[in-house]
Amino acid sequence: MPKEAPRHWDRKMQQRLARGEAAALGELYDRFASLVHSLAHRVLDDEGAADRVTRDVFAHVWENPETYDPRRGPFRSWIAAIAHAQAVERLRQSETAPLTEGDGTEGRAGGGGPEQSEALEEKVRRASVAARADYIVTSMPAPLRSALELAYFQRRDYRQTAADLGVTEDEARRRLRLGLQLLSTANDQDRTARTPSSGPDYRTAI
């Protein structure tokens, strides 16, 4: 199957949700709840808020399975895009509420002035980059992910990484290089948070 081709599981899951199968929602939750919670927590840095986003995401999926388009990416990316969009929206609301309270600007984002608005946008951007980096790492093929984890989380050099993985040093360098190339896309500042159903590819929404 071509790498970009939609998987049969994705289409089948969409059909089951559309039929209202509660068991399908349970299966989906078991498979993706940790991903959704991790992305939400990375953006919000708040356990309770991440829990609420997780509930909201699966409620949205349950109520709107028809909005998933297999041509735009796998089910995993669609759910991740929903989680990211909802977490960013909650972050904006939580950060702008204190700025607008008591100054007559309720309901108007940016009530704290341009400096506060710029600070908020920078916070959202950093959170989005971090969330996207996490998603990229968890989505990598296992060989690339293992090499990155050894090199950057366990501070192994490429020789130690090669020995731990049982591969040649050239192969360890290749895996690290490819992993870093993928990870570097998280810093693309031209990416913006979009609603999951509006972009050409779900993977560009995170």
Query: Would you say 136 and 183 are in contact if contact means Cβ atoms under 8 Å apart?
Result: yes
Per-residue confidence (pLDDT) for residue 97, from 0 to 100? 63
pLDDT of residue 1: 37
Residues 86-114 have a mean pLDDT of 67
State which of 56-65, 100-109, 133-142 shows the largest mean pLDDT: 56-65
**What's the pLDDT tens digit per position in 106-160?**
444 445 567 777 888 888 888 888 888 888 888 889 999 999 889 877 889 989 9
The per-residue pLDDT for 46 is: 95
pLDDT at res. 47: 96
pLDDT at 33 > cutoff 90? yes
36: nearest Cα among 179, 138, 148, 180: 138
Give 11's contacts (C-beta < 8 A, 6+ positions apart): 70
Binned at pLDDT 50, 70 and 90, residue 4 comes out as very low
Q: Mean per-residue pLDDT for 78-104?
A: 80
CB-based contacts of 134, cutoff 8 Å, min separation 6 = 38, 39, 42
Mean pLDDT of the chain: 84
Could you report the per-residue pLDDT of 175-195, keeping only the tens digit for each? 999 988 888 887 764 454 444
Q: Which helix (H) or strand (E) holds 69?
A: none
pLDDT of residue 188: 63
At position 201, the amino acid (one-letter code) is D
* Structural domains of the chain sorted by starting position, each given as residue range(s) with its CATH number in brackets: 8-205 (1.10.1740.10)
Q: What is the pLDDT of residue 101?
A: 53
Whole-angstrom distance, CA of residue 109 vs CA of residue 106: 8
The span from the CA of 185 to the CA of 137, in Å, is 11
Range in 7-11, 61-65, 107-111, 144-148 with the lowest mean pLDDT: 107-111
Cα atoms in the Cβ-side hemisphere of radius 13 Å centred on 24:
18
